[in-house]
Structure 1
Amino acid sequence: MDTSRGADRGYRVTFGADGDPRTLAVTYGTRVGSDAVAVWRDDVEPRLERSEDGYERVGGIRATTYQGREAADMEWYATVDGTRVRTFGRGFLLGGGRGFSLRWTTPAADREEPASREALRTFLRTFRPAAD
């Protein structure tokens, strides 16, 4: 598990095993804006383009709801330690400029494997932000 704090993004905890490209990252932000799609498009994606080797978005940024809250999904490819990976990201707003992002990263070749799909479904079904 890795934890980090960024001045403009809040706190991030990343779960995964050393040397294994499969990770779950949970980011909490305190200044994320009021439009989930705009957050991915205007804040997150430009950072990914600068920092992720081989960054390539898959499809469009999709507005959705998650646990009754405004949310948006985005997927992308990148290269991590020589492995092509694919990340599914779901960002959702809590109100008051606060929000979360959940990111599930797997080797691109394993993306459709039943275990990978089930892990993503489980993360999305069971994650709960702390009560205010």
Structure 2
Amino acid sequence: MSFMLKIQWDIKDGREADFRTNQEKLCAVMTEHPGVICYHADYPSEQVSQWTEIYATNESFKAHLANEKGKEPLGTLIDACQNITCQCWGDPDEESKEILAGFGATYHATADNAFVLNPSADKDSLV
């Protein structure tokens, strides 16, 4: 099943440039996984980055995080933050929930017929 993440990264003093550089590297990895439908990063302030990520399948989420090219940038992002808040809408499987637990994910209900995957999206992608 598809699911959406909203992640807020509270960046440590002096780590903003390092965070942005590695965010760009991680975003580039997304294009290797067609099941990653959306990957959006915003910077409402110097020390806050807010992301929206939409995954077509659990497999696409797990493949994205397992990609060797993304492991170092993700590790740097985590190290550059004093706090990470992760909210999830949808129904990830147990393996995905185990991964999301490392980000302190909380789960939220969506109104009926309010979160759907575009029928033209590659929802059958395994990567």
Q: TM-score range by the shorter chain?
A: 0.3 to 0.5
TM-score normalised according to structure 1 size: 0.32
Q: Flag the structure with more relative contact order, 1 or 2, with Cα contacts below 8 A and sequence separation at least 6.
A: 2
TM-score normalised according to structure 2 size: 0.33
Which has the larger strand fraction? 1
Which has the larger helix fraction? 2
